[in-house]
Amino acid sequence: MSLQNASIPDNLSSAALNDSQDGTHANQCHDFEDWKATLLGVYILLVAVLGIIFNVFVLMVFCLHKKACTVAEIYLSNLAAADLILVCCLPFWAVYAYNKFNWPYDDFMCPMITLTIVMNACCSIYFLVLVSIDRYLALVHPLSNREIRGPKHAKLGCLLVWFMGLLLGIPSLIYRKTKHIPTCNKTVCHMAFPSENLEQVSEGLLILFSFIIPISIISFCTFKIIHSLNNRVHSRNSEQKAATLILAVLAAFLVCWTPFHLVKIVEMFHRAKIFKEEMILEIFKNIVMYIAFFNSVLNPILYVIVGKKFRKKVKEFFMQCSNKRTGLHSFHSKHSYVTRRTIVSMSGQSTRLPFHKEHA
């Protein structure tokens, strides 16, 4: 299982596909119980609904607030956008799971949904890398690199992250295909690499660029930030609170995604015949996969619970919306009053029109 493979769960489809290819169990299909399919579909749909609601709310606060976003908020808003796009694809996955992993959509949807999930999952971690670097420069080297920490460079960095996410998702676009399995009467959406070596290389590169490199950068920046704050006798409270929010988001990401990538590494050993416990691997693949995508729901919750500045921005946003409604109501009331007064005035003029003519 890779991020590409896990993007559309194929624990049933992989087993069935392998059986049909090697011919050892041609007449056997690994059926998926109704209650498991229902439970899994409901869980994925719940994650999708909560993720959509929470991340839309975060984007509204960041984008519609009267004050311009700070550099860190630019990164966090892009993180929310990546999470939002990811969870918007999960309802398709929920239907696939509820349908016992029998692909109900057309062939085009198979690679496109996977590409979108892989791309935005990779973008999420690199937006956290940018947040970590920004906090590192702000707290560890506050007097230097001020030009780099400007909104212009932040937006450029976000564009590069989106492009990198697209590149990392290209294998899914090329090799993710649908396949009908006659023995099970099912159509599955699976990764169809032309060779096992290519699959291993693709898996290795994805693990390197979507986990090892970004986690190394984040760990270095986090260690330096904590060390710098601990050494400051008079560190500002605002700096500590900003660092606390960032560290909470990073911790949530690590808790949700680290097991997923570790299982991917173990699976590479399994393909190389080093690790042979296939059943244990199958169980953990599913568990860590469902934990990983819950991270898209956790981030907005952490903004509200930990981020005092974000809570302040939420209050200001609601006041801003309330003032707009009040202003609009006042405008309509004033407009209505002026209209009534004009009508009355015109009525009065029409009755006194002969009087004006006599004095003309």
Give 243-289 pLDDT, tens digit per residue: 777 778 888 888 888 888 888 777 777 666 665 555 566 667 777 87
pLDDT number for residue 35: 79
Give 104-115 pLDDT, tens digit per residue: 999 999 999 999
- Select from 1.10.357.10, 3.40.50.10860, 3.40.50.620, 1.20.1070.10 the CATH code of 3-252+295-322: 1.20.1070.10
pLDDT number for residue 280: 62
Q: At what angle do helices 34-64 and 308-351 cross, to 10 degrees?
A: 70
Output the pTM of the full model: 0.77
State both tokens at 138. 């702000």
Domain residue ranges in the chain:
3-252+295-322
Average pLDDT estimate for 51-78: 88
